Amino acid sequence: MFSNASSFVEGVDIAFFIIIGISLVFLVGITAAMIYFVIKYNKKRHPKAEPTKDNFQLEIFWTVIPTLLVLGMFYYGWVGYRPMRIIPKNAIPVKVTAKMWSWSFEYENGKWDSLLIVPVNKPVKLELFSPDVLHSLYIPAFRVKEDVVPGIANVMWFKAQKEGTYNILCAEYCGQRHSYMLSKVKVLSQKEYEKWYNAKDTLAEKMMPGEILMKKQACIACHSTDGSKLVGPSFKGLYGSKVTVLVNGEKKEIIADDEYIKNSILDPNSEVVEGFPQGIMTNYSGQISEDEIKQFIEYIKTLKDD
Amino acid sequence: MSTEQTALPADNFFNQGGKGLMSWLTTTDHKRIGLLYMYSIAIFFSVAVILGLLMRLELIAPGKTIMEASTYNKTFTLHGVIMIFLFIIPGIPAVFGNFFVPLLMGADDVAFPRLNLMSWYLYIIGAAIALSTLVFGEGSADTGWTFYAPYSVKTGTNVSTSVFAAFVLGFSSILTGLNFLTTIHRMRAPGMGWFDMPLYLWSTYATSWIQILATPIIGITLLMIIAERALGVGLFDPSLGGDPILYQHLFWIYSHPAVYIMILPAMGVVSEIIPVFSRRRMFGYKAIAFSSLAIAFVGYLVWGHHMFTSGMSGPARIIFSILTFLVAIPSAIKVFNWLATLNKGSIDLQPPLLYSLGFIFLFLIGGLTGLVNGALATNTHIHDTAFIVGHFHYVMFGGTGFGFFAAMHYWFPKMYGRMYNIKRATRAFWVTFIGFNILYFPMFILGLEGMPRRYYDYLPEFQGWQVVSTVGSWILVTGLIMMFVNIIRGARKGKPAGDDPWNGYTMEWETSSPPPLENFHQAPVFKKPTYED
């Protein structure tokens, strides 16, 4: 009767059934009583109301019964929840970086992906990290959710029990492209997982270092590489072009050269391209090295206008 | 109808105390101030309803339908800010509290009439500041009405102005609470003891305490956001050394009790209406009075249930969960007592009672789904999903909104001395009620299926219920228009209603309709109602 995509589903869904079941009894009962009274004691049929006699015992009765019921609901809520906070020691650690507006997942051996890839029936521990604002990692099929809070090392875990692909959504509002901050969790068999985990990183062969970095740092969540306008200007045809920027509110024309690109990464709000919002981009100083900036620039140079 | 009148009494507050706009803008008459609030609230409510309609229309299909993502984010923020700070929090207390708190206790005005007028001006100034973000600066805030840090610190939109508006509105709320509290303590008619007070006064009393004690916290918190944005003081943004969770605590320490500022007055209204239309005394008067105080008190201690997934410590989560369940009990007690009052009464299903029963049904759904939110296991799944949006619209709109409509239909003949068309009011109720459920019920299903809230775009599998919900919004708005047209026509052309069209038990029905300038022709003395027809 439960999907059991993760080991938490049963506990959570039992709590759902108990709470919604009891609630339905009350909702239907009270509504039916209301309708019954309105019909039976309508002033046409029942022109004289009977005087109200307070009934202290009845008051006690309908205070105590709901109290017991809600304490029962609390109990099942807690029982379903408790396992989520007890993280098995052997859980596979994955570092999750949530950024405006993408997810990235990094494994112990340095392997990196924008999808979360996990083996079936093995506990996985997610260490949540955000460099900018609040996000929340939500996997509905697994019944798990935990906020990703900048400056605080939140942790969550789960054990997937069925192979397949499930949605990951950002549940805490994080700005313009909040509803596009999606990913997937892929649950593989142990064998497939190991094959994936131990495979040599094929990305390095296919992509330039700057391109990989750009994915890891989530630049492409806001800056397209095909000329389309997202939150920030596209990288396509950027290098060497003339851009109009606002410096302290004044328009200025400059050429997008190495110096400009570097400055845009390390101090993004000093020169914002006209027509784009101020203050959206995170300051990357301290997060990206000089070498990496060079890799970026090399990659951007390849994105020429058609 | 106890008396048949052909014309309104000449000595009513519309004629007395001057005519013309200036006489209204400088009035200290609590009745006129109540109406000033009602007209301004009606305008802001309509604006926010239109914003809501546009959001629903955007969500009828995945991808862009009528607006960009950034516009959508600003729209839901402004919708929330207007509905919360300009409609639901002031709503019933500012309109019906101002008009009826003195009348229900046989007083000639509130304790501080000038302060009362000042509260209205603060309200209007706050509203003007909030709406000015549409026209000036970098565009209105796109943070959601919760202004969560650090996004609210970082975003380029005009957060400071919106936050400052909420700060000013807070003062309006505090001063109104202070005024009612003093009025209830000091100005009851001779002979009216605490437990002779109409239950609406009890709920206003409890509400006023929350307004006075909790609102300053949000005021300070909002100033902290402005200080962080303008001066770079590191309070909530970790890149400046602040703590984003601290913001959430401070925000919800006010904003959860504020939920009870919103709902308690509506419960008070329903507790007035049910006895009158069942022709009998309220069952369990003291239980209802004390449950209002219990809600006000326990309501202070449950704010953490907004933050179960924020990384709060395990014991804190457990304590907040158990307290959240306890706050449900006083509400349950009220529902049972209302039901017991209907039992064996002589029920006249007039529009005020219809809206009150609608309130009970919708509030029940809102309250019972609140239990799902309060349990830790289920909260983890539905937190920050459409389920929450459905839940609080059932409580806030289905509860407080329908309570407001019930109060409007109940006290309307006293306020204007005229009666609206009863048949049309009944028809408008059913259209509104049905539209409401078609609009908001699908959100529970969407939330359970894993659709997060504040999503401009969504995965195609969610579309079915989104379409149903959008169609519901059209029906709901049709009902609202029917209701308002009927009310406005009634105010202008309705038949004179007489002093006591509902055979009420409370003191406001003893004076003429509309009441004269200082409410009563002779200083009234409280007599216990006999509840015999």
Kindly write down the DSSP assignment for every residue of B159-196, as one continuous string: HHHHHHHHHHHHHHHHHHHHHHHHHHHH-PPTT--GGG
Nearest-angstrom CA–CA distance, B338 and A215 = 60
- What is the 8-class DSSP label of residue B401? I
B415 and B283 Cβ atoms separated by less than 8 Å: no
For residue B516, whether the previous peptide bond is cis, meaning omega lies within 30 degrees of 0, is no
Rounded to the nearest 10 degrees, how much is the dihedral formed by the CA atoms of A152, A84, B450, B393?
Answer: -80
Look at A228-237, B72-81, B444-453 and tell me which has the smallest mean pLDDT: A228-237
SS3 B13: coil
- pLDDT, tens digit (0-9, with 9 covering 90-100), for B199-233: 999 999 999 999 999 889 888 888 888 888 888 88
- pLDDT, tens digit (0-9, with 9 covering 90-100), for B57-66: 999 999 888 9
Looking at 1.10.10.10, 1.10.760.10, 3.90.1150.10, 1.10.287.70, the CATH number of the domain A204-302 comes to 1.10.760.10
- pLDDT, tens digit (0-9, with 9 covering 90-100), for B264-292: 999 999 999 999 999 999 998 989 889 98
The mean pLDDT of B83-94, rounded to a whole number, is 92
CATH classification (class only), A92-199: mainly beta
pLDDT at residue B533 is higher than 70: no
SS3 B496: strand
Tell which wins on pLDDT, A201 or B190.
B190
**What φ, ψ does residue B99 adopt, rounded to 5°?**
-70, -40
CA angle A18, A21, A26 (to 5 degrees): 125
Determine the pLDDT at residue B3: 47
The type of residue at B447 is G
SS3 A205: helix
A66: closest chain B residue by CA: B329
Nearest-angstrom CA–CA distance, A143 and A162 = 14
A73 contacts B374? CB cut-off 8 A:
yes
Query: Among candidates B341, B268, B350, B270, which has minimal Cα distance to B531?
Result: B341
| B142: chain A residues, CB-CB within 8 Å | 175-176
Average pLDDT, chain B: 90
Q: Which of B151, B243, B325 sits opposite A151 (nearest CB)?
A: B243
Nearest-angstrom CA–CA distance, B278 and B502 = 11
The mean pLDDT of B430-444, rounded to a whole number, is 96
Determine the pLDDT at residue A170: 95
pLDDT at residue A200 is higher than 80: no
Q: How many domains does chain B have?
A: 1
Q: Tokens 């296919």 label which residue? A: A206
Look at A55-64, A171-180, A260-269, B76-85 and tell me which has the smallest mean pLDDT: A260-269
Min Cα–Cα distance to chain B from A108, Å: 23
- pLDDT, tens digit (0-9, with 9 covering 90-100), for B317-339: 999 999 999 999 999 999 999 99
Determine the pLDDT at residue B235: 87
B317: closest chain A residue by CA: A78
Tell which wins on pLDDT, B415 or A288.
B415
Determine the pLDDT at residue B201: 94
pLDDT at residue B6 is higher than 70: no
Determine the pLDDT at residue B4: 52
Residue A217: strand pairing partners:
none
Determine the pLDDT at residue A180: 92
B138 contacts A278? CB cut-off 8 A:
yes
- The domain ranges of chain A are 9-85, 92-199, 204-302
DSSP labels for A92-157? EEEEEEEETTEEEEEETTS-EESSEEEETTSEEEEEEE-SSS-EEEEEGGGTEEEEE-TTS--EEE
pLDDT at residue B85 is higher than 70: yes
Determine the pLDDT at residue B2: 44
Determine the pLDDT at residue A203: 65
Determine the pLDDT at residue A204: 65
The mean pLDDT of A151-168, rounded to a whole number, is 93
B287 falls within a domain: yes
For residue A101, whether the previous peptide bond is cis, meaning omega lies within 30 degrees of 0, is yes
Q: What percent of chain B has pLDDT over 90?
A: 61
- Domain range for residue B74? 21-510
Q: Which of A19, A20, A140 sits opposite B449 (nearest CB)?
A: A140
Relative orientation angle of helices B244-278 and B314-342, to the nearest 10 degrees = 10
Q: Which of B329, B345, B364 sits opposite A63 (nearest CB)?
A: B329
Nearest-angstrom CA–CA distance, B477 and B481 = 6
pLDDT at residue A215 is higher than 80: no
Look at A201-215, B14-28, B70-84, B506-520 and tell me which has the smallest mean pLDDT: A201-215
pLDDT at residue B365 is higher than 50: yes
Query: Among candidates B172, B303, B177, which has minimal Cα distance to B250?
Result: B303
pLDDT at residue A149 is higher than 70: yes
* Kind plus residue range of the DSSP H or E element containing A165: strand A164-170
- pLDDT, tens digit (0-9, with 9 covering 90-100), for A162-188: 999 999 999 999 988 899 999 999 999
Q: Can you list the pairs that A104-109 forms with residues at least 24 positions away whose Cβ atoms lie under 8 Å?
A: A104/A215, A104/A216, A104/A218, A107/A197, A109/A197
Q: Could you confirm whether domain A9-85 is CATH 1.10.287?
A: yes
- How far is the CA of A153 from the CAs of A96, A97, A117, B311, in angstroms? 11, 11, 21, 9
- pLDDT, tens digit (0-9, with 9 covering 90-100), for A12-53: 999 999 999 999 999 999 999 999 999 999 988 888 888 888
A15 contacts B375? CB cut-off 8 A:
yes
Determine the pLDDT at residue B438: 96
Give the residue from B64, B235, B326, B371 with the most A CB atoms within 10 Å of its CB, the best one to mutate. Answer: B371
| A30: chain B residues, CB-CB within 8 Å | 335, 339, 360, 364
pLDDT at residue B368 is higher than 90: yes
A26 contacts B368? CB cut-off 8 A:
yes
A148: closest chain B residue by CA: B310
User: Domain of B497: which CATH number?
Assistant: 1.20.210.10
The type of residue at B443 is M
A51 contacts B531? CB cut-off 8 A:
yes
Exposed, middle or buried: residue A242 (CB in 10 Å: 0-12, 13-18, 19+)?
exposed
pLDDT at residue B1 is higher than 50: no
A197 and A118 Cβ atoms separated by less than 8 Å: no
